[in-house]
């Protein structure tokens, strides 16, 4: 085994893990890279929506069982948990990857592009790993392989968390991190530290971005239904047009952030992402449904923004003779907060992995993550690994959630090595 050879070589970079050096771990990562790439491409070609990750979780569970780990399946519907018992006593580190894809029809030209479809909110949609969860899953499978090879020398435990439904459970279902915790994720094994990563399009491939404290926004789902009165499109005065009312609401909602919230204190966002109404061009419909998202960083600001959104929608509808129902998601994501002390301890490790000049502290990020639920339970660090293709101008890089989202696979070894090195350094006490 490569790990045995590395240990025999007695590398100069000292580690409490029986002489294993950074170079040894880098060699193990390089050896594993072809499999990580193959897993990632397979998951990319066979994406599955939230709470439906049956094929993906099956492949993950089979791999972990083959490594001789203690594996639990079916948590939070399709989640997979595995525990690696080290050969020596020590603390417990948890590592998390999410597995679900998005209802996005892929437009890239990679040979392993997705052509999958599924039913989402009653419609047939394309399905794509447009946020990189295929990479996260493959990376953590590679980390499990490497750490399992160190089992005898490893002090403590490693918990591998493969999470479903990070993008949100389907209507009427529970899912994701909140459901994993509800079903007892940390009941028998509570980690001393938790690490997670996300591939991100705003950073060059292989660059690591981090931030102590508040990192990613809290999010609330938004649903507004405007009720009017259906009539013939040629006789609008005979009914009450909910489409016109909805257009007024959409425009006015933008003033909640641009004119009513002090953005010098914290950023905030109100976005409407879908509008559904009508069946024909010559029929004014009975109702319009809008769905969107709200992003905030402060509890008081969140309460204020939600109240303003509700007031804006209901009063504009009332002024037009219509009515508006405003609903917010049942399980909002809290702000993702990195434990400041753990983050500062981890920066030297991440710097050794990425290299000087390829790690940076970044600003507040407006996407949200249900990793935030885990981070409220144990000290945690969540960081970005850049996947933007070298040489592509920043304004031409397709963003996460785009049908053109692209993962430069040169970033995958950086992700594998980062999670592996963080685990080894924490367990062996090198992370002071």
Q: Tokens 């479903």: give the residue.
A: 164
Q: Tokens 């946020």: give the residue.
A: 131
Q: Which of 32, 48, 53, 100 is catalytic?
A: 100
DSSP conformational letter for 133 = H
DSSP conformational letter for 163 = E
Q: Which of 48, 106, 153, 166 is catalytic?
A: 166
Instruction: Give CA–CA dist 320/308, Å, rounded.
Output: 18
Residues 6+ apart with CB under 8 A from 188: none
Beta-ladder partners of 208: 359, 385
Instruction: Give CA–CA dist 281/198, Å, rounded.
Output: 43
Q: Tokens 């990857």: give the residue.
A: 97
- Does the active-site annotation cover 192? no
Helix (H) or strand (E) holding 252: helix 242-260
CA torsion sign for 385, 389, 391, 393 is negative
Beta-ladder partners of 271: 293
Instruction: Give CA–CA dist 253/71, Å, rounded.
Output: 47
- Does the active-site annotation cover 167? no
Instruction: Give CA–CA dist 300/284, Å, rounded.
Output: 39
DSSP conformational letter for 30 = H
Residues 6+ apart with CB under 8 A from 107: 403, 404
Beta-ladder partners of 224: 290, 326
Instruction: Give CA–CA dist 362/377, Å, rounded.
Output: 24
Catalytic positions are: 100, 166
């Amino acid at each position: 085994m490569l790990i045995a050879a590395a240990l025999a070589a007695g590398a100069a970079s000292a580690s409490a893990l029986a002489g294993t050096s950074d170079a040894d771990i880098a060699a193990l990562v390089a050896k594993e890279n072809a499999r990580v790439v193959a897993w990632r491409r397979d998951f990319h070609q066979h994406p599955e929506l939230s709470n439906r990750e049956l094929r993906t979780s099956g492949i993950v569970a089979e791999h972990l069982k083959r490594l001789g780990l203690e594996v639990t399946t079916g948590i939070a519907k399709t989640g997979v948990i595995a525990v690696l018992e080290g050969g020596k006593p020590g603390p417990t580190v948890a590592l998390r990857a999410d597995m679900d894809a998005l209802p996005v029809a892929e437009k890239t030209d990679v040979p392993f592009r997705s052509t999958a479809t599924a039913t989402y909110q009653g419609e047939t949609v394309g399905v794509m790993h447009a946020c990189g969860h295929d990479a996260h899953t493959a990376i953590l499978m590679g980390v499990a392989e490497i750490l399992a090879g160190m089992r005898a020398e490893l002090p403590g435990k490693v918990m591998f968390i493969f999470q479903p439904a990070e993008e949100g459970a389907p209507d009427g279902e529970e899912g994701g991190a909140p459901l994993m915790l509800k079903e007892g994720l940390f009941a028998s094994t509570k980690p001393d530290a938790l690490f997670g990563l996300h591939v991100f399009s705003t950073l060059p491939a292989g660059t690591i971005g981090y931030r102590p404290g508040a990192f990613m926004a809290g999010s609330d789902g938004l649903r507004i239904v405007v009720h009017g009165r259906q009539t013939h499109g040629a006789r609008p005065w005979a009914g009450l047009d909910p489409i016109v009312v909805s257009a007024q609401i959409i425009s006015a909602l933008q003033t909640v952030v641009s004119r009513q919230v002090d953005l010098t204190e914290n950023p905030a966002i109100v976005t409407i992402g879908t509008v559904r109404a009508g069946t024909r061009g010559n029929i004014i419909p009975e109702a319009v449904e809008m769905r969107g998202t709200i992003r905030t960083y402060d509890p008081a600001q969140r309460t204020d923004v939600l109240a303003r959104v509700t007031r804006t929608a209901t009063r504009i509808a009332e002024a037009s003779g219509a009515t508006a129902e405003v609903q917010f998601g049942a399980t909002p994501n809290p702000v993702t907060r990195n434990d400041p002390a753990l983050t500062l301890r981890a920066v030297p490790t991440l710097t050794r992995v990425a290299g000087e000049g390829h790690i940076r502290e970044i600003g507040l990020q407006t996407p949200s993550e249900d990793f935030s639920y885990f981070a409220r339970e144990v000290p945690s660090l969540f960081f970005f690994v850049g996947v933007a293709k070298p040489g592509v101008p920043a304004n031409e890089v397709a963003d996460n959630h785009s049908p053109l989202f692209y993962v430069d696979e040169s970033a995958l070894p950086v992700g594998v090595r980062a999670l592996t090195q963080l685990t080894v350094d924490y367990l062996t006490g090198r992370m002071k």
